[in-house]
Structure 1
Amino acid sequence: MGRPIVLLIGKNRASAYVYQAIRNLGVTHVIQEDGPSEHRPESIKHWMTHVYVRLTSPVMRLSSRARIQELKRRYPLNDEPIPFHHILRVTSLNDTKTTMWLDRLDPQLIVTHETGPIDRVSSPDSTVRC
Protein backbone atom coordinates (compact mmCIF):
# COMPACT_ATOMS: atom_id res chain seq x y z
CA MET A 1 0.00 0.00 0.00
CA GLY A 2 1.33 3.44 -0.96
CA ARG A 3 1.42 6.55 1.13
CA PRO A 4 -2.03 7.99 1.86
CA ILE A 5 -3.74 11.13 0.66
CA VAL A 6 -5.03 13.35 3.46
CA LEU A 7 -7.86 15.86 3.08
CA LEU A 8 -7.81 18.91 5.38
CA ILE A 9 -11.22 20.56 5.69
CA GLY A 10 -13.08 23.19 7.66
CA LYS A 11 -16.73 23.04 8.66
CA ASN A 12 -18.30 23.39 5.25
CA ARG A 13 -21.02 21.34 3.56
CA ALA A 14 -19.17 21.42 0.25
CA SER A 15 -16.32 19.43 1.81
CA ALA A 16 -18.45 16.30 1.46
CA TYR A 17 -18.59 16.86 -2.31
CA VAL A 18 -14.80 17.15 -2.46
CA TYR A 19 -14.33 14.02 -0.34
CA GLN A 20 -16.78 11.98 -2.41
CA ALA A 21 -15.12 13.16 -5.64
CA ILE A 22 -11.60 12.14 -4.60
CA ARG A 23 -12.19 9.29 -2.14
CA ASN A 24 -11.29 6.59 -4.66
CA LEU A 25 -7.91 8.19 -5.34
CA GLY A 26 -6.59 6.99 -1.99
CA VAL A 27 -7.95 9.43 0.60
CA THR A 28 -7.61 7.52 3.85
CA HIS A 29 -7.95 10.28 6.43
CA VAL A 30 -9.81 13.56 6.70
CA ILE A 31 -8.62 16.09 9.26
CA GLN A 32 -11.44 18.48 10.11
CA GLU A 33 -10.87 21.83 11.79
CA ASP A 34 -13.68 22.22 14.33
CA GLY A 35 -12.64 25.28 16.26
CA PRO A 36 -12.35 28.90 15.32
CA SER A 37 -9.27 29.96 13.47
CA GLU A 38 -6.73 31.68 15.68
CA HIS A 39 -5.50 33.77 12.76
CA ARG A 40 -5.50 37.50 13.39
CA PRO A 41 -5.13 39.97 10.53
CA GLU A 42 -1.67 41.51 10.59
CA SER A 43 -2.35 44.69 8.64
CA ILE A 44 -5.23 47.01 7.86
CA LYS A 45 -5.45 45.49 4.37
CA HIS A 46 -5.79 41.97 5.80
CA TRP A 47 -8.29 43.22 8.37
CA MET A 48 -10.43 44.88 5.67
CA THR A 49 -10.34 41.70 3.58
CA HIS A 50 -11.35 39.68 6.64
CA VAL A 51 -14.30 41.99 7.37
CA TYR A 52 -15.37 41.99 3.70
CA VAL A 53 -15.39 38.19 3.54
CA ARG A 54 -17.29 37.92 6.84
CA LEU A 55 -19.95 40.38 5.69
CA THR A 56 -20.41 39.05 2.16
CA SER A 57 -20.35 35.32 2.95
CA PRO A 58 -24.03 35.10 4.02
CA VAL A 59 -25.11 37.01 0.91
CA MET A 60 -23.02 34.78 -1.35
CA ARG A 61 -24.39 31.68 0.39
CA LEU A 62 -27.97 32.75 -0.29
CA SER A 63 -27.31 33.76 -3.88
CA SER A 64 -25.47 30.54 -4.68
CA ARG A 65 -28.30 28.15 -3.81
CA ALA A 66 -29.73 28.19 -7.34
CA ARG A 67 -26.28 27.57 -8.82
CA ILE A 68 -25.70 24.63 -6.48
CA GLN A 69 -29.01 23.08 -7.53
CA GLU A 70 -28.09 23.57 -11.19
CA LEU A 71 -24.73 21.86 -10.66
CA LYS A 72 -26.42 18.97 -8.83
CA ARG A 73 -28.72 18.45 -11.82
CA ARG A 74 -25.88 18.71 -14.34
CA TYR A 75 -23.20 16.62 -12.61
CA PRO A 76 -23.38 13.47 -10.51
CA LEU A 77 -22.44 15.18 -7.25
CA ASN A 78 -22.55 12.97 -4.21
CA ASP A 79 -23.33 14.79 -0.97
CA GLU A 80 -23.27 11.80 1.35
CA PRO A 81 -21.51 12.71 4.59
CA ILE A 82 -17.90 11.76 5.13
CA PRO A 83 -17.78 8.48 7.09
CA PHE A 84 -17.07 9.28 10.73
CA HIS A 85 -14.29 6.69 10.94
CA HIS A 86 -12.28 8.65 8.34
CA ILE A 87 -12.47 11.97 10.22
CA LEU A 88 -9.87 13.16 12.71
CA ARG A 89 -11.19 16.25 14.49
CA VAL A 90 -8.84 19.00 15.62
CA THR A 91 -9.45 22.44 17.08
CA SER A 92 -7.12 24.12 14.61
CA LEU A 93 -5.09 22.89 11.68
CA ASN A 94 -2.17 24.78 13.24
CA ASP A 95 -2.09 22.88 16.53
CA THR A 96 0.31 20.13 17.54
CA LYS A 97 -2.31 17.39 17.17
CA THR A 98 -2.54 18.08 13.43
CA THR A 99 1.24 18.07 13.08
CA MET A 100 1.43 14.80 15.00
CA TRP A 101 -1.15 13.15 12.72
CA LEU A 102 0.53 14.42 9.55
CA ASP A 103 3.92 13.19 10.78
CA ARG A 104 2.44 9.80 11.67
CA LEU A 105 0.51 9.39 8.40
CA ASP A 106 3.36 10.70 6.21
CA PRO A 107 0.97 11.53 3.35
CA GLN A 108 1.97 11.56 -0.28
CA LEU A 109 -0.49 14.38 -0.95
CA ILE A 110 -2.40 16.86 1.22
CA VAL A 111 -5.57 18.38 -0.22
CA THR A 112 -7.05 21.38 1.59
CA HIS A 113 -10.61 22.62 1.19
CA GLU A 114 -12.25 25.60 2.90
CA THR A 115 -9.76 25.81 5.74
CA GLY A 116 -8.51 28.77 7.67
CA PRO A 117 -4.93 29.94 7.28
CA ILE A 118 -2.37 27.19 7.81
CA ASP A 119 0.98 28.23 9.29
CA ARG A 120 2.98 25.24 8.18
CA VAL A 121 2.46 21.75 6.90
CA SER A 122 4.83 18.82 7.29
CA SER A 123 6.51 18.45 3.95
CA PRO A 124 4.60 16.00 1.77
CA ASP A 125 5.50 15.61 -1.86
CA SER A 126 2.58 17.83 -2.90
CA THR A 127 -0.15 20.01 -1.46
CA VAL A 128 -3.30 20.99 -3.36
CA ARG A 129 -5.62 23.78 -2.24
CA CYS A 130 -9.14 23.77 -3.68
Structure 2
Amino acid sequence: MEMNDQLHQQIVKLCEEGDQFAELQQMSEAIASYQRALELVPEPKEEWSAATWIYGTLGDTYFSIQNYEDAIHSLECALNCPEGKGNPFLLLRLGESFYELGEFEKAKAYLYKAYQIEGYKIFFQEDDKYFKLIIELI
Protein backbone atom coordinates (compact mmCIF):
# COMPACT_ATOMS: atom_id res chain seq x y z
CA MET A 1 0.00 0.00 0.00
CA GLU A 2 1.17 3.48 -0.83
CA MET A 3 0.75 6.39 1.56
CA ASN A 4 -0.12 9.72 -0.01
CA ASP A 5 2.81 12.12 -0.23
CA GLN A 6 1.32 14.85 1.96
CA LEU A 7 0.65 12.44 4.83
CA HIS A 8 4.08 10.86 4.43
CA GLN A 9 5.74 14.29 4.59
CA GLN A 10 3.82 15.20 7.78
CA ILE A 11 4.99 11.95 9.38
CA VAL A 12 8.60 12.49 8.30
CA LYS A 13 8.52 16.08 9.61
CA LEU A 14 7.28 14.97 13.03
CA CYS A 15 9.92 12.23 13.19
CA GLU A 16 12.66 14.69 12.25
CA GLU A 17 11.37 16.99 14.98
CA GLY A 18 11.53 14.07 17.40
CA ASP A 19 15.10 13.31 16.31
CA GLN A 20 16.09 16.91 16.99
CA PHE A 21 14.60 16.75 20.48
CA ALA A 22 16.39 13.46 21.11
CA GLU A 23 19.72 14.98 20.06
CA LEU A 24 19.12 17.72 22.63
CA GLN A 25 18.32 15.04 25.25
CA GLN A 26 14.73 16.32 25.47
CA MET A 27 13.32 12.81 25.47
CA SER A 28 9.75 13.51 26.57
CA GLU A 29 9.39 16.00 23.70
CA ALA A 30 10.97 13.50 21.31
CA ILE A 31 8.55 10.79 22.40
CA ALA A 32 5.59 13.17 21.99
CA SER A 33 6.69 13.97 18.41
CA TYR A 34 7.10 10.30 17.54
CA GLN A 35 3.71 9.49 19.03
CA ARG A 36 2.07 12.27 17.00
CA ALA A 37 3.72 10.83 13.88
CA LEU A 38 2.44 7.37 14.76
CA GLU A 39 -1.10 8.71 15.22
CA LEU A 40 -1.02 9.87 11.59
CA VAL A 41 -0.26 6.37 10.29
CA PRO A 42 -3.52 4.89 9.00
CA GLU A 43 -5.08 1.82 10.61
CA PRO A 44 -4.18 -0.94 10.68
CA LYS A 45 -0.77 0.48 11.55
CA GLU A 46 0.91 -2.94 11.27
CA GLU A 47 0.51 -2.77 7.48
CA TRP A 48 2.67 0.33 7.03
CA SER A 49 6.46 0.40 6.88
CA ALA A 50 6.35 3.88 8.43
CA ALA A 51 4.98 2.26 11.58
CA THR A 52 7.99 -0.09 11.67
CA TRP A 53 10.49 2.74 11.99
CA ILE A 54 8.32 4.93 14.21
CA TYR A 55 7.69 2.12 16.70
CA GLY A 56 11.37 1.20 16.49
CA THR A 57 12.45 4.76 17.17
CA LEU A 58 10.01 5.01 20.07
CA GLY A 59 11.37 1.78 21.50
CA ASP A 60 14.94 2.98 21.17
CA THR A 61 14.06 6.30 22.82
CA TYR A 62 12.29 4.57 25.71
CA PHE A 63 15.32 2.29 26.08
CA SER A 64 17.62 5.31 26.28
CA ILE A 65 15.67 6.67 29.27
CA GLN A 66 15.52 3.23 30.92
CA ASN A 67 11.77 2.86 30.43
CA TYR A 68 12.14 -0.78 29.46
CA GLU A 69 8.46 -1.75 29.67
CA ASP A 70 7.44 0.88 27.12
CA ALA A 71 10.51 0.03 25.04
CA ILE A 72 9.40 -3.60 24.88
CA HIS A 73 5.84 -2.63 23.96
CA SER A 74 6.98 -0.36 21.12
CA LEU A 75 9.60 -2.79 19.83
CA GLU A 76 7.15 -5.69 19.83
CA CYS A 77 4.75 -3.54 17.81
CA ALA A 78 7.59 -2.76 15.38
CA LEU A 79 8.29 -6.48 14.94
CA ASN A 80 4.71 -6.97 13.75
CA CYS A 81 5.05 -4.31 11.05
CA PRO A 82 6.56 -4.76 7.57
CA GLU A 83 10.14 -6.07 7.70
CA GLY A 84 10.12 -5.91 11.48
CA LYS A 85 10.76 -9.55 12.32
CA GLY A 86 14.05 -9.61 10.43
CA ASN A 87 15.31 -6.25 11.65
CA PRO A 88 18.43 -6.91 13.74
CA PHE A 89 18.34 -3.54 15.49
CA LEU A 90 14.78 -4.12 16.73
CA LEU A 91 15.76 -7.60 17.93
CA LEU A 92 18.85 -6.22 19.67
CA ARG A 93 16.98 -3.47 21.53
CA LEU A 94 14.21 -5.87 22.48
CA GLY A 95 16.75 -8.33 23.86
CA GLU A 96 18.54 -5.57 25.75
CA SER A 97 15.25 -4.35 27.23
CA PHE A 98 14.34 -7.83 28.43
CA TYR A 99 17.85 -8.17 29.86
CA GLU A 100 17.45 -4.96 31.86
CA LEU A 101 14.21 -6.29 33.34
CA GLY A 102 15.93 -9.53 34.34
CA GLU A 103 14.07 -11.65 31.79
CA PHE A 104 17.24 -13.36 30.62
CA GLU A 105 15.72 -16.20 28.60
CA LYS A 106 13.69 -13.78 26.46
CA ALA A 107 16.73 -11.51 26.24
CA LYS A 108 18.90 -14.38 25.09
CA ALA A 109 16.43 -15.39 22.37
CA TYR A 110 16.22 -11.90 20.85
CA LEU A 111 19.91 -11.12 21.20
CA TYR A 112 20.81 -14.40 19.53
CA LYS A 113 18.42 -13.68 16.64
CA ALA A 114 20.07 -10.27 16.18
CA TYR A 115 23.48 -11.98 16.19
CA GLN A 116 22.34 -14.56 13.63
CA ILE A 117 21.33 -11.79 11.22
CA GLU A 118 24.11 -9.23 11.77
CA GLY A 119 26.92 -11.08 13.48
CA TYR A 120 29.05 -9.61 16.22
CA LYS A 121 29.17 -6.17 14.61
CA ILE A 122 25.68 -5.34 15.91
CA PHE A 123 27.13 -5.50 19.42
CA PHE A 124 30.09 -3.14 18.75
CA GLN A 125 28.45 -0.08 20.30
CA GLU A 126 26.65 -1.99 23.05
CA ASP A 127 27.58 -2.96 26.60
CA ASP A 128 29.51 -6.27 26.61
CA LYS A 129 27.04 -7.81 29.06
CA TYR A 130 24.54 -8.34 26.24
CA PHE A 131 26.94 -10.29 24.04
CA LYS A 132 28.19 -12.29 27.02
CA LEU A 133 24.64 -13.54 27.56
CA ILE A 134 24.63 -15.33 24.20
CA ILE A 135 28.29 -16.35 23.85
CA GLU A 136 27.49 -19.93 24.91
CA LEU A 137 25.07 -20.21 21.97
CA ILE A 138 27.67 -19.31 19.36
Rg comparison, structure with higher value: 1
For normalisation by structure 1, the TM-score amounts to: 0.25
Q: Which has the higher helix share?
A: 2
Relative contact order, higher structure (CA 8 A, sep 6+): 1
For normalisation by structure 2, the TM-score amounts to: 0.24
Q: Which has the higher strand share?
A: 1
